[in-house]
């Protein structure tokens, strides 16, 4: 079973934790990792450099649309980054993801 790694950027650690906990509470993801990053991007015709936090959450493929809707419903960004990456891992880890998500 392949699964998804979903990469989401946030304005701060509090928001990253709020989003991750929301997804965990709904059993849409099995786990999440949160860490600080520095981002460079185009916004309003200028290059911006900002400190952000990223969360990387893991879930089964069938939860993609539900995760996107759940994040968009509570995320403060006008255009949040919600990026999916298909992944494979050792069988025990993949089984754990499947067992911990609905």
Could you report the per-residue pLDDT of 23-56, keeping only the tens digit for each?
Answer: 999 999 999 999 999 999 999 999 999 999 999 9
Tell me: pLDDT of 73 over 80. yes
Q: Is 21 helix (H, G, I), strand (E, B) or coil?
A: helix
Residue 76 has pLDDT above 90, yes or no: yes
d(CA 92, CA 102): 17
Question: Quick one: DSSP state of residue 97?
Answer: H
State residue 61's pLDDT score. Answer: 97
Give the tokens for residue 89: 């891992």
User: Given a cut of 80, is residue 57 above it in pLDDT?
Assistant: yes
Residue 1 has pLDDT above 80, yes or no: no
C-alpha distances (whole Å) from 55 to each of 9, 34, 58, 80, 93 are 6, 4, 10, 12, 19
């Amino acid at each position: 079973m392949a699964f998804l790694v979903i990469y989401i950027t946030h304005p701060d650690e509090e928001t990253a934790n709020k989003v991750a906990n929301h997804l965990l509470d709904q059993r849409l993801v099995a786990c999440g990792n949160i860490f600080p990053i520095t981002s460079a991007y185009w916004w309003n015709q200028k290059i911006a450099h900002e400190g952000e936090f990223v969360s990387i959450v893991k879930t089964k493929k069938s939860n993609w649309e539900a995760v996107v809707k759940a994040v968009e419903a509570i995320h403060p960004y006008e255009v949040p980054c919600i990026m999916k990456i298909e992944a494979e891992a050792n069988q025990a880890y993949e089984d754990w993801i499947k067992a911990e998500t609905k």
